[in-house]
Amino acid sequence: MKVLALDSTALVASVALCEDGKLLGELTLNNGNTHSQTLLPMVEFLLKQFDMTPGDVDLFAATVGPGSFTGVRIGAATLKGLAFGTNKPCAAVSTLEALAYNLKDFDGLICPVMNARRKQVYTALFRASNGHLTRLMDDSAIAIAELDEKLREFDEPVRLCGDGYDITEELLTHPIIPVSERYRHQSAFSAAEVALQKHQNGDVGTDLNLSPVYLRLSQAERERAERQAVDTGI
């Protein structure tokens, strides 16, 4: 089975092409939020190296959030465009689960964290054992102080990953096992591996029902709600 996976939910953009669980190629750019300009050319370049077109792909996958509102939308829209008319299944992958998958071979507690601003993070919690992940907490948008409280329930250190690594490490009091830079960023190959599992479990859809997951309102929506609250005296 050939899988094409995308991740553009944070500063890093990543595209991977796999076949039967084997990585054929992966492109990753860490050059900021220019995904609208770079993501599709990355896909086209990667497919061209293997003389493939979107019609040759058996499973399309994209991380659908949480993350940057713009980045999430770009990834979902790009995948929808690629999958349109192919009648091939599409897998919507949690960005946080894909990040945790980077560390699946390190047994122990894994906590992906993405910077949600205002000392908050998008986060979840997993346990890795023998290359498998068990989810311990749903994807959430919470304050780092609240995450610190949740981690205190576990009498063991934790490994962090994601673009919220530095700010979370700085504010956490819970013991942390250091993780090298290469494991902290999004990887489309990890997203592809999660997508394969979802496909095996029958948890896939089509390009029509693949949609972003934001977990909270955008800054513009929050500011509008605050203004409305002031205007109405709520």
Q: How far apart are CA 129 and CA 216, in angstroms?
A: 31
Stretch 140-169: mean pLDDT, rounded?
97
CATH architecture of 101-183: 2-Layer Sandwich (3.30)
Amino acid (1-letter code) at residue 233: G
Domain boundaries, the chain: 2-95+186-224, 101-183
What's the one-letter identity of residue 65?
Answer: G
Residue 227 pLDDT greater than 80, yes or no: no
CA 211, chain centre distance (Å)? 14
Distance between CA 156 and CA 163 in Å, rounded? 23
What confidence tens digit (pLDDT) does each residue in 43-92 have? 999 999 999 999 999 999 999 999 999 999 999 999 999 999 999 999 99
- Sheet containing 13-19: order of strands: 22-29, 13-19, 2-7, 59-63, 90-93
Could you say which architecture CATH assigns to the domain 2-95+186-224? 2-Layer Sandwich (3.30)
Q: Is the pTM value of this prediction over 0.85?
A: yes
Q: What is the mean pLDDT of the chain?
A: 93
Going by C-beta distance under 8 Å and a sequence separation of 6 or more, which residues neighbour residue 174? 148, 151, 152, 157, 158
Domains 2-95+186-224 and 101-183 share a fold: yes
Strands 2-7 and 59-63: parallel
How many residues are there in the chain?
Answer: 234
Average pLDDT (166-182) is 96
CA distance 87 to 58: 9
pLDDT > 70: percent of the chain:
92
Give the separation between CA 91 and CA 119, rounded to whole angstroms: 31
